[in-house]
Amino acid sequence: MKTGFVLNENVRAELYGEKIKLRTENTSLYYGKFQALRNITLSIKERSIMAIIGPSGCGKSSFLRIFDRMNDLIPGARVEGKVEIDGNPIYGPSVDVVALRKKIGMVFQKPNPFPMSIYDNIAFGPRQHGIFSKHELERIIETSLQQSALWEEVKDKLGQPAMGLSGGQQQRMCIARVLAVEPEVILMDEPCSALDPAATLRVEDLMRTLAEQYTIVIVTHNMQQAARVSDMAAFFMMASDRAGELVESGATTQIFTNPKDKRTEDYITGCFG
């Protein structure tokens, strides 16, 4: 019997033994006078993959960067509304941004290895956080490369330049570099857009494995990829004033097979985008 009572996402998560890792409530982003995102309310479960989909220019990457505060680096950028990790605010004068970015790592659209050895790329983050023990660094490097499914391919050439790796290997090394600081959340901004199909599938397999330990939020234009790897999906669109808005979110199977909004269906079926 329907009662008309609807559980909010946090209560529902508690009842079903799930935890909300990241949450926004009526969150808006401005670059100066321009509103890039409007009133986004979205919850992302712990140890799951959330895919952010939508046409170009609708604010997907800007939304991703809200969580690690990378928009702070843009003059005039400001965020309104709630943004939380584990129920704690991400914005505010008391927040340690360095500590936040240790919890929330970012993998970018194109692989961006530093111009140094594979070893020094992975060791870079731990060293920034005060780890200099050779034994501890070697443990972190091996563990991170194993987690990123790259250890067997590079274990005998850690001293070689990271720029010499293939594109797919470089991206997995960048993922290992994020993992080396032991984050809780991994943000991925179109991580496979510059990769060939074989490398893309390896990264997708890696994402599914990593989701057993980490919360992953991925921005992708590849609908097949979103359907393959994600547990939840959120569809964004641009309003008439160019502000990005959340149209709907839900389980990936529901979004792709039975969307509630006609605009979602039109986008997924290729009517526009």
Model confidence pLDDT, tens digit, residues 89-114: 999 889 999 999 999 999 999 999 99
DSSP annotation of 17 reads T
Q: Distance (Å, rounded) from C-alpha 24 to C-alpha 44?
A: 9
Please name the amino acid found at residue 160. Q
Model confidence, pTM: 0.91
DSSP annotation of 96 reads -
Sign of CA dihedral 108, 112, 114, 120: positive
Instruction: Look at residue 6 and tell me whether its pLDDT is greater than 60.
Output: no
Q: Look at phi and psi of residue 81 and say left if phi exceeds 0, alpha if psi is from -120 to 50, else beta.
A: left
In the block, tokens 């720029």 appear at 163
Average of per-residue pLDDT across 74-84? 96
Q: What pLDDT is recorded for position 66?
A: 97
Q: How many CA atoms lie within 13 A of 42 on its CB side?
A: 28
Instruction: Look at residue 248 and tell me whether its pLDDT is greater than 70.
Output: yes
Q: How confident is the model at residue 136 (pLDDT cuts 50, 70, 90)?
A: very high
Q: What pLDDT is recorded for position 93?
A: 87
Instruction: Look at residue 1 and tell me whether its pLDDT is greater than 70.
Output: no
Q: Domains of the chain (ranges plus CATH)?
A: 9-114+184-268 (3.40.50.300)
Q: What is the mean pLDDT of the chain?
A: 93
